[in-house]
Structure 1
Amino acid sequence: MVVEHLLPAGWLERKRQFAFFIGLFYAIIGIIIAKALFPDDPSLVAIAFTSILLLPLLRKLFTIEEKQEKREKRFSLVHLFRDEGDFISVYFLLALGVFATYCVASMILPGFEINALFRDQLELRGANGGAIFTAGLFIDILLNNWWVFLACFVLSWIAGDGAIFLITWNASLWGTIFGVTARSAALASQGNPWWYLAIVLLIIAPHAIIEMLSYILGGIGGGLISADLEREKGERKTPRPHVFYSYVGMIILAGLILLLIGALVETFVLDNVVLYQEIVAQSFMAAS
């Protein structure tokens, strides 16, 4: 797309705050195109279009990161954080832009438009919302997050940057659910929906950020392996494969650690933050 030529990947890593607005813009474009071409069921199509728009930019970023890792002569945590920090920030801000689009859209669009545009996201809210607080909550959350992490890793390993589809889906899912929850709870209590949204975001932000970073690290790990295997087919092999794969292994390990921390934090929030439980209950009262 034209944006990739106007904003090179290297520039975006240095000016990573603009990644948020790119994610925001592409998500809006994806929703508009999906609504125009598939008016009967645009929700998943919008995710596909948004992901496709993001793919060229991510491919450039993966190429840059792979070359950086292969230039390293020995493994160093300092180099790992230096080389990957900007990429992770850009990836996260792209996802945050998608999240913000769906969250705000769920707050301002008419109810019938929300039901039409975000049907698949709302179906998952209905499936999970009524039975969030269970005795085996930690195991349920950990297993669910593990499968998402594994899917991000495998899809990126196979397709290079295939994790963007799952990450975009999760960003849209969270944005829709949190926006609709705040809006519905405010309707039930005759409160300010934006105040409710602020409360919801403050409560869920810690574990949502940790889990999203976990998925991104899984996708980056798989994508770097894929890029290395693809490059070896037509070019010389990695000069120091043990160093390169040490970096990849640490990225994956960091993702798994964040996965565990995210599940612990989410379990604590859902089991102990009474205010959030009340907001969720109010939101389903309005829907019933």
Structure 2
Amino acid sequence: MVLEGLLNPLKAEKSPWEMFFIGFAYSSVAILLSLWIFRDQASMVMVLLIVMAAIPVMYSVIKLEESKDMEASQESKLLKEHNKAISFLMYLFLGIMVSSLFWYVVLPADTVSVLFQKQSATLQAVNGNPATGNAVSQLAAFSLVFLNNVKVLAFAILFALVYGAGAIFILTWNATVIGTAIGNFVRTNIDHYVTTIGIVGENSYFHIVSIGLLRYALHGIPEIAAYFYGALAGGILSVAIIRKHYRTPHFRTVMMDFSELVMIAIAFLLAAAFLEVYVTPVLF
């Protein structure tokens, strides 16, 4: 209850950056508790604990956005209001991701292998079939990445529709996976610096972390934004159905809003897939 009461969504939309620290706190507490109590299953338990802490905030945001649908007179104004919620949730996601990255880097290797076991296995499966450089393979990779992301988006919408704030589970899982990926990149390169140079200065740490963040943020930010748009769309529709707003004339506004949010999400996924397949390999 203490963590749940740290922030009021109504106030947080005015200063969404505060959610970064809330997300970091949620994740850090979950990591420490999972290692302390459920060490052997810590990689999944920490995700569940983060979700438990974040669900009240997520649900409050969804209810707030659905109420805006009932009051909105212009769709453009409504989308602008929704963007505040997306910003709010993105900072929460970044806080969870950076926390995962931080603990991946600072904890001992044997603890990291237990804490991020499932996340590391997921990354190994994803990276098992790297694309080659020719145009046909890149197009196939683009299609594969895009369709896989659409599948995740569909699950986010479905979870939000069925469970209300349930999409936070998928988003939290992705935050820990991305944090693990960046953390692994940082640790690997730090080990390389130590092996070749013998010491790692502050500039080297900053350089490695910056490259790691940029490498995944380039396509990760639009991808995660898409999932949040989808989760918000499903959540708004879920709340509207629960409140029986489908019996009112305003339900048409809800459905239009749902459709537009999903289309925005798909557009973000197209951009994310393009960046991941065609841009990131060139830069990194």
Q: Give the TM-score normalised by structure 2.
A: 0.89
Which whole-Å deviations, capped at 9, do the CAs of 1:8-34 have from their partners, x for residues lacking one? 220111121111111100001111221
Contact 2:215 2:280 in 1 (8 A): no
| Corresponding residue number in structure 2 for 1:76 | 75
Which whole-Å deviations, capped at 9, do the CAs of 1:155-182 have from their partners, x for residues lacking one? 0010011110000000100011111122
Q: CA deviation at 1:217?
A: 0.6
Q: Determine the C-alpha separation between the residues in 2 that align with 1:49 and 1:269.
A: 35
| Number of residue pairs the alignment of both structures matches | 270
| Corresponding residue number in structure 2 for 1:279 | none
Query: Which stretch shifts more, 201-210 or 185-194?
Result: 185-194
| Corresponding residue number in structure 2 for 1:7 | 7
Q: Determine the C-alpha separation between the residues in 1 that align with 2:130 and 2:231.
A: 27
Which of residues 180, 183, 198 in structure 1 aligns to 2:184? 180
Q: 1:24-103 maps to which residues of 2 (within 5 A)?
A: 24-73=24-73, 75-77=74-76, 79-103=77-101
Q: CA deviation at 1:3?
A: 4.2
| Corresponding residue number in structure 2 for 1:255 | 265
Which of residues 129, 132, 151 in structure 2 aligns to 1:131? 129
Quote the sequence identity (%): 26
Q: Determine the C-alpha separation between the residues in 1 that align with 2:4 and 2:120.
A: 32
Contact 1:207 1:263 in 2 (8 A): yes
Cα distance 1:4–1:15, how it changes in 2: closer, same or farther (>3 A)? farther
Which whole-Å deviations, capped at 9, do the CAs of 1:15-65 have from their partners, x for residues lacking one? 211111111000011112211221112101100110110001111111111
SS where residue 39 of structure 2 aligns?
coil
Q: Determine the C-alpha separation between the residues in 2 that align with 1:14 and 1:138.
A: 37
| Corresponding residue number in structure 1 for 2:152 | 148
Cα distance 1:138–1:181, how it changes in 2: closer, same or farther (>3 A)? same
Q: CA deviation at 1:83?
A: 1.4
SS where residue 131 of structure 1 aligns?
coil
Query: Which stretch shifts more, 140-149 or 151-160?
Result: 140-149
Cα distance 1:38–1:71, how it changes in 2: closer, same or farther (>3 A)? same
Amino acid paired to 1:240? H
Unaligned runs of 5+ in 1: 277-288
Q: Determine the C-alpha separation between the residues in 2 that align with 1:247 and 1:86.
A: 15
Cα distance 1:266–1:229, how it changes in 2: closer, same or farther (>3 A)? same
| Corresponding residue number in structure 2 for 1:220 | 232
Q: Which runs of 4+ in 1 moved over 6 A?
A: none
- Give the aligned CA root-mean-square deviation in angstroms: 1.8
Amino acid paired to 1:21? F
Q: Determine the C-alpha separation between the residues in 2 that align with 1:54 and 1:5.
A: 11
Q: 1:155-174 maps to which residues of 2 (within 5 A)?
A: 155-174=159-178
SS where residue 40 of structure 1 aligns?
helix
Q: Give the TM-score normalised by structure 1.
A: 0.88
Contact 2:62 2:239 in 1 (8 A): yes
Unaligned runs of 5+ in 2: 195-199
| Corresponding residue number in structure 2 for 1:204 | 216
Is 2:270 aligned against 1:272?
no
Contact 2:218 2:280 in 1 (8 A): no
Q: CA deviation at 1:236?
A: 8.3
SS where residue 41 of structure 1 aligns?
helix
